[in-house]
Amino acid sequence: MAPSPDPTVNDLRRELEKALDALQECLRHLSRHAEMNAALHCSERVMYSPLHAKTEAAVTGIKHALTRTEQHPATSPEHSDANCPWFYLLADFDRCEHGRHQEDPCGGSCGTRSQGNPHMRTGHVIGYNLRREHIVMPHRDDKTDPKAWRQTKAEDA
């Protein structure tokens, strides 16, 4: 993201990003705690607390606020792959129908862990580029690396 001309917006964004980081860690802790309780009681279902839902809602709200205060890439001279608006779309391709990334905790019909998008499994070819090279669904840890989405002919064989 390019810095905003208004320093107040930059300060608010920085504080929101810190709050977002803290709340995401809280979500991870709450999820693991709920999973631990389910395992302790030999339950087939993981029951997430109301605090978990409220924390998820706060995370969503912060992400929305951060998105609304971004400087539009078309007006930003620093547009690059790192701040491309399409990045967030691509980063969500591995989510299951409940909105969870593959292998994240999911209380829906996925069970305890999200099975991910059944239409876009890791390693599956999802398209082709101009040189007929495969575009593949990368491993979740590599989704931020544009090279991980490409598969050359040598890797394909």
Start-to-end C-alpha separation, the chain: 38
Residue 137 lies in a domain: yes
pLDDT in tens, 50-74: 999 999 999 999 999 888 888 655 5
Which residue among 41, 56, 76 closes a domain?
A: 76
CA angle (27, 30, 35) in 5-degree steps: 125
Q: What percent of the chain has pLDDT over 70?
A: 82
Mean pLDDT value across residues 125-152: 80
Residue 49 lies in a domain: yes
* Structural domain of 130: 125-156
Which residue among 37, 56, 76 closes a domain?
A: 76
Q: What is the pLDDT of residue 34?
A: 92
Residue 96 lies in a domain: no
Q: What is the pLDDT of residue 157?
A: 45
Which residue among 56, 76, 96 closes a domain?
A: 76
Mean pLDDT value across residues 33-51: 91
Residue 26 lies in a domain: yes
Residue 118 lies in a domain: no
pTM above 0.75, yes or no: no
Amino acid at 28: R
Count of domains observed in the chain = 2
